[in-house]
Amino acid sequence: MTSAPFALDVTRLVQRLRHATPSGIDRVERAYLDHALARGGAVICRVGWRSHLIAPGNVAAVAEILDGAAVAPDLRARVQPWRVARVRAAEAGLRRLAAGSTGRKRLGAFLRAQLAPGAAVLNVGHDNLSVEGMAAMRAAGLRPVAMLHDTIPLDWPEFARANSVPRFRERLAAMAGAAQLIFTTRAAEAAARARAAAEGIVLPAGTVIPLGVSPARTEVDAEVAAGDGTAAPGFVCVGTIEGRKNHLLLLNIWRRLWETQPPEATPQLHVIGRRGWEAGQAIAMLDRAPMIGRTVFEHADLPDAEVARLTAGARALLFPSFAEGYGLPLVEALAAGVPVIASGLAVLREVGGEVPEWIDPLDGPGWLAAIMDYAAEPSPRRAAQIGRLEGWRAPTWESHFAALDEVLAGV
């Protein structure tokens, strides 16, 4: 028995090692892993059909594995050469570190024997959730707590992979069995409860706790960010290239600029993020449009420090999404003192307040006008937003986890 006060499920983090850079939810789960390390939490990870539990004393080793520490493959990893090597290696490392493992049917009894009485079991990645698993943990006297980021696959199915819609419906049904839910904004909670009700699902009580900001995404040397002053003014768009992020709007704007003015008079657009799904036309433009490599630049796998550098030197972050669960790139840009031009979504207005420039995601002329205004020097419109930024304060992970501790104490 580990006597850990809580356990964190890191199944998503391990499986997402198949990608070179983490998504927003991945970075949230990683922040929770750091919190587990600091607070003596245990770790759970499902590998195949078995869930493994790693005691608090080995959580630091889990973090090192996820950060890329070399791990010798075990026999099971070697007989699955078709799977991504980083994932197989991480799974091998977790199997070696595990205090024990079990199948889904005995999960509740297994965790009850391993954790402190009434321990919380946290899942913030939407992976490894099932109605049966939640029921088993509740029956064993444990307290499953899940973070519900959004219900976008059900609200906007045209922007989701086809197979992700029924899978997400199952996850939402599983969350109905949680002892407590965590939401990141009031708008996201309202949307999730409305969607759950439409699906005939009753969600448990929840608490809104804003996400913190990672310093690695916001801190950069001022001289490095400023550059030598000779480069064209630039804008950044940060996020996976998928349909709901509306990259197509920006690419069409830069296509128009390519046709109407010389490249040296056109601001640069830096598209930062890996290619995703339901974005065929945007990806086709990134592959073949004439301005690519001249005024538009794609960056698929940038480390956090380089993302921070490009963002810090930008005239603004562009965020024309049709739907968001929280909007970490927006918050991180504001935390770095960088202006934001974004869709006027309720969830983004909640985290950005009155600081950003809010424009409808379908208003192409409005976006073009704002981009050119912000690219100008001087730019009264940009200067006004920088003035508004002075009164804005970024949420911190310290405050997030202080609020989480209060929630866990009261569940």
Query: Cα 127 to the chain's mean position, in Å?
Result: 13
Is the pLDDT assigned to residue 104 strictly greater than 90? no
Is the pLDDT assigned to residue 220 strictly greater than 90? no
CA neighbor of 320 nearest in space, from 269, 361, 371: 361
Instruction: From residue 45, give the alpha-carbon distance in Å to each of 55, 134, 149, 334, 358.
Output: 12, 15, 20, 34, 40
pLDDT at 223: 47
Q: How confident is the model at residue 106 (pLDDT cuts 50, 70, 90)?
A: confident
pLDDT at 88: 86
Do residues 94 and 47 lie in contact, with contact meaning Cβ atoms separated by under 8 Å? yes
Structure tokens of 70?
A: 């070399």
Average pLDDT of 122-147? 93
Taking the C-alpha atoms of residue 218 and residue 308, their distance in angstroms, rounded to an integer, is 5
Do residues 196 and 202 lie in contact, with contact meaning Cβ atoms separated by under 8 Å? yes
Taking the C-alpha atoms of residue 73 and residue 85, their distance in angstroms, rounded to an integer, is 9
Taking the C-alpha atoms of residue 342 and residue 233, their distance in angstroms, rounded to an integer, is 18
Q: How confident is the model at residue 221 (pLDDT cuts 50, 70, 90)?
A: low
Instruction: From residue 265, give the alpha-carbon distance in Å to each of 262, 341, 357, 381.
Output: 5, 21, 23, 19
Q: DSSP states of 12-48 as a string?
A: HHHHGGGSSS--HHHHHHHHHHHHHHHHT-EEEEEET
Do residues 39 and 56 lie in contact, with contact meaning Cβ atoms separated by under 8 Å? no
Cβ neighbourhood burial of 95 (10 Å; 0-12, 13-18, 19+):
middle
Among residues of the chain, what percentage have pLDDT more than 70?
Answer: 96
pTM here is 0.92
Instruction: From residue 127, give the alpha-carbon distance in Å to each of 82, 327, 380, 405.
Output: 22, 20, 46, 22
Q: pLDDT tens digits for 267-307?
A: 999 999 999 988 999 999 999 999 999 999 999 989 888 99
pLDDT at 228: 41
pLDDT at 86: 84
- Which of 142-151, 298-307, 337-346 has the lowest average pLDDT? 298-307
**18-27, 153-162, 229-238, 281-290 — most confident range:** 281-290
Do residues 245 and 323 lie in contact, with contact meaning Cβ atoms separated by under 8 Å? no
Q: pLDDT tens digits for 242-267?
A: 999 999 999 999 999 999 999 999 99
Do residues 6 and 41 lie in contact, with contact meaning Cβ atoms separated by under 8 Å? yes
Average pLDDT of 159-166? 90
Q: How confident is the model at residue 23 (pLDDT cuts 50, 70, 90)?
A: confident
Q: How confident is the model at residue 410 (pLDDT cuts 50, 70, 90)?
A: confident
Q: How confident is the model at residue 69 (pLDDT cuts 50, 70, 90)?
A: confident
Do residues 55 and 42 lie in contact, with contact meaning Cβ atoms separated by under 8 Å? yes
Cβ neighbourhood burial of 237 (10 Å; 0-12, 13-18, 19+):
buried
Mean pLDDT of the chain: 91
The strand ranges marked E within 200-315 are: 206-208, 234-238, 268-272, 296-299
Q: pLDDT tens digits for 349-382?
A: 999 999 999 999 999 999 999 999 999 999 999 9
List beta partners, residue 270.
236, 297
Among residues of the chain, what percentage have pLDDT more than 90?
Answer: 70
Average pLDDT of 112-128? 91
- Which of 102-111, 136-145, 288-297, 358-367 has the lowest average pLDDT? 102-111
| Helices vs. strands in the chain: H and E counts, helices first | 19, 14
Average pLDDT of 116-139? 92
Grouping H, G, I as helix, E, B as strand and the rest as coil, residue 271 is strand
Q: Is the peptide bond before 166 cis (omega within 30 degrees of 0)?
A: no
Do residues 339 and 235 lie in contact, with contact meaning Cβ atoms separated by under 8 Å? no
pLDDT at 216: 67
